[in-house]
Structure 1
Amino acid sequence: MSAQPNSALPETAAQPENFERFRQRRSASLLMSLLLHGCLLGLAVLLFSIFRSPTPDEPLRRGSIVLTSIDENQQEDFLTEEDIEETLDETAVAAAAAAAAAETAPAIDMPVVESLPGPPPIEPTPNATEMVNESHTDAATHQFELSEAELAEIAREQRRLKSRQPKGDPMSINVFDGTNMTGRRFVFIIDRSRSMGSQGLGVLARAQTELSSAIQQLKPNHEFQIVAYHSRTVTISKRQLLPATDSNKALVKPFLQNLAAFGATEHNYGINAGLAFRPDAIVLLTDGGYPGLTASQLKLIRRVAGNAEFHCIQFGLGTQQESSNFMMRLASECNGTFRYIDVRDWDE
């Protein structure tokens, strides 16, 4: 009986203590909840104020920038627009004064730098006008002498050129019964395009007899060459003038017999190939097909031909229709003659 009251006392004493701890824990949880919800609410209000857009009726808020300065007594002074304008004016005046001083600054004497090793400096390009106006010394004061070896080489070259000159008197020969030309070097330029062959005017077959007869008149001290052309050129044997020996004269007929007439006509190409031999007289045999020679091409031919005679023979079917063409101009300006031959007359 005495043990029961003693065992109940501890439970009664423990209830107030447990309740107090429960109350404290509940108060702390409530406080933490209030703080957390307060923070969330404040964050929501802040985000809303930042990201929300003003309504069309809501006036925009304007801001401004205030400039201040600190004086020697650490007193703050607010700057006005007049103060800023005065500062800018003072800065502009100071910059202008500095620029004026730089223009009137005295020249600075630079130290003399010794010549450094390496290639010499590049000389400036001379002025052509100054060079012309400069006084020139007498050429006799400048002495220039060739070595014995150089003099001997020049003498050999002169002898070689002299040996290549045809010897003897020039002679006149006749081509196609009417074209006479005079000289020591003769070049015959013949068009071998399709229109000049047997399917055209038949000039190549007639030229075998005519050119062979003309070249037979030459003496051994004379030289000749035949240039046949369309879009390319071909010559007898070597591309050089041939001495008019019997053996070289015998090459003329086989050369003309083996010419095939085909292709287009390139007069400028054939004429310049003939001029390269530097002849005294040239005979051009062609029907004058398209294309002709331009004014610039004729000018160049006249310059290269020099004093050479340039005789032109044009072949056609029927009477001549042109009153002027490049062959007429070439012959009249190069000491030559022009003839037109109607191939129908050969059948009579």
Structure 2
Amino acid sequence: MTRLPESAPTPPKRDHAPASRFSRAPRDAYHRIRSRQAPPLLLSFGFHLIVMVAIVSLIRPPANGTGDVADRNIGIAMVHRLPDREVYEPVEPPTSDAIDQSEASTSAAAAAAAPPADLSPPIDLAGVLSAMESTPAPVNGSGIAGDTTLDGDSVGESSGGKPVGKLGQETTARLFGVSGTGSRFVYVLDRSDSMNGYGGRPLRRAKEELVRSLNTLSQYQQFQIIFYNENAKPFQLAGMSLALVEGNESNVDRAERYVESIQAFGGTKHKSALLMALRMSPDVIFFLTDAHLPRLSHLELQQIADRATRSGTTIHAIEFGSQPAPTPGTFLKELAEMNDGQYQYVDVNRFAP
């Protein structure tokens, strides 16, 4: 048997030619690019998600309340500060019904109180002229009581034609030759240490003249006394607030004892005493001081004059001094002129020991 020679194995058939390394390169590069791009896309998506959540949380209005903590009621209280403690007094807020009722009652009261638009009060021309003519003016003199001649009614006589026996009856009162007519008088006197000079004669004579003037008043007039240095010390009846008192005999006796108790010491502050007197809206203020310094400024004088105009008050000024004539430009003369008053200078050297 003849043996055939072994032939070489037949290679398998291939459906297609093997890809060269040049044909595989684009596909590998594509996969590498996709694998590199995946993490940045995830990061971008996460970042934009966080930004959107933050924007929504900012736009959304905050929830009312405090979460787990319950809301607490609040109220209004008035605080009264005492020397040793503070007292809190709760204030109940008014209801809407109470507010409406209050506004309605206020409107009704205003409408009822308003006078007719065409109403014009009559002018008592005769009364105005009578009051002007009944106010005497002093002539030049020394300023010592009894040494100055005055025109007009005598001390204590009623004027203005008002009926006798009625509170508010006008009279003419005097102090160191200065006269004023009305029914409400306030005496404002300096009690600073300088009034102790010259053996205490200025304060002593001021007290004597004040008591003499008080005794010309009657139960139909009212008065008040204010002695001052750095502070103002008014005459007050026991258990009563600062006010004008009737000039009856009992009150005048109490006032005399108050005047006798006054002593002079300390510095001088004019304005507070004058403003205290003006708060009582008197007809006449007798203002006496020996201190042309410290003087009231022009602004202070204007403030006092505005207040006196509103209350219809005349302010007379009496100045004690140690020279034969007053110091030029004294503010006391300006004070009297700005308030329709009289100015009198008194030389304390003429006081008897």
TM-score, normalization: structure 2? Answer: 0.50
Which residue, out of 305, 310, 317, partners 2:308? 305
Offset of residue 303 of structure 1 = 0.5
Indicate conservation of the 8 Å contact 2:292/2:332, yes or no.
no
Alignment CA distance shift 1:144-1:236 (3 Å): closer
Identify the residue that residue 81 of structure 2 maps to in structure 1: none
Q: How many residues align?
A: 191
Which residue, out of 317, 320, 326, partners 2:325? 320
Indicate conservation of the 8 Å contact 1:265/1:289, yes or no.
no
Residues 291-347 of structure 1: per-residue CA shift (max 9 Å, x gap): 110011000000101131110000011212412211101101111100100011122
Identify the residue that residue 221 of structure 2 maps to in structure 1: 222
Rg larger for: 1
Indicate conservation of the 8 Å contact 2:292/2:330, yes or no.
no
- Counterpart check, 1:145 vs 2:108: yes
Counterpart AA for 1:292:
R
- Counterpart check, 1:296 vs 2:299: yes
SS at 1:145 equivalent: helix
Q: Map of 1:190-269 to 2, 5 A cutoff?
A: 190-197=189-196, 202-237=201-236, 238-269=241-272
Identity of aligned residues (%): 29
5+ long unaligned stretches in structure 1: 1-142, 152-165
- 2-side partners of 1:300 and 1:318: how far apart? 30
TM-score, normalization: structure 1? Answer: 0.51
Offset of residue 207 of structure 1 = 1.9
Residues 20-68 of structure 1: per-residue CA shift (max 9 Å, x gap): xxxxxxxxxxxxxxxxxxxxxxxxxxxxxxxxxxxxxxxxxxxxxxxxx
Identify the residue that residue 169 of structure 1 maps to in structure 2: 169
5+ long unaligned stretches in structure 2: 1-105, 115-165
Identify the residue that residue 15 of structure 2 maps to in structure 1: none
- 2-side partners of 1:303 and 1:240: how far apart? 21
Identify the residue that residue 100 of structure 2 maps to in structure 1: none
Alignment CA distance shift 1:321-1:221 (3 Å): closer
Indicate conservation of the 8 Å contact 1:175/1:214, yes or no.
yes
Alignment CA distance shift 1:231-1:168 (3 Å): closer
Indicate conservation of the 8 Å contact 1:205/1:257, yes or no.
no
Identify the residue that residue 277 of structure 1 maps to in structure 2: 280
Residues 137-179 of structure 1: per-residue CA shift (max 9 Å, x gap): xxxxxx94239xx99xxxxxxxxxxxxxx83431111212x11
Q: Which runs of 4+ in 1 moved over 4 A?
A: 198-201
Identify the residue that residue 13 of structure 1 maps to in structure 2: none
Identify the residue that residue 335 of structure 1 maps to in structure 2: 340
- 2-side partners of 1:342 and 1:146: how far apart? 58
Alignment CA distance shift 1:328-1:321 (3 Å): closer
Q: Map of 1:39-78 to 2, 5 A cutoff?
A: none
SS at 1:330 equivalent: helix
Indicate conservation of the 8 Å contact 2:169/2:221, yes or no.
no
Indicate conservation of the 8 Å contact 1:179/1:311, yes or no.
yes
Counterpart AA for 2:230:
S
Offset of residue 193 of structure 1 = 0.3
Q: Map of 1:83-94 to 2, 5 A cutoff?
A: none
Task: Determine which structure has the larger helix proportion and give its number.
Answer: 1
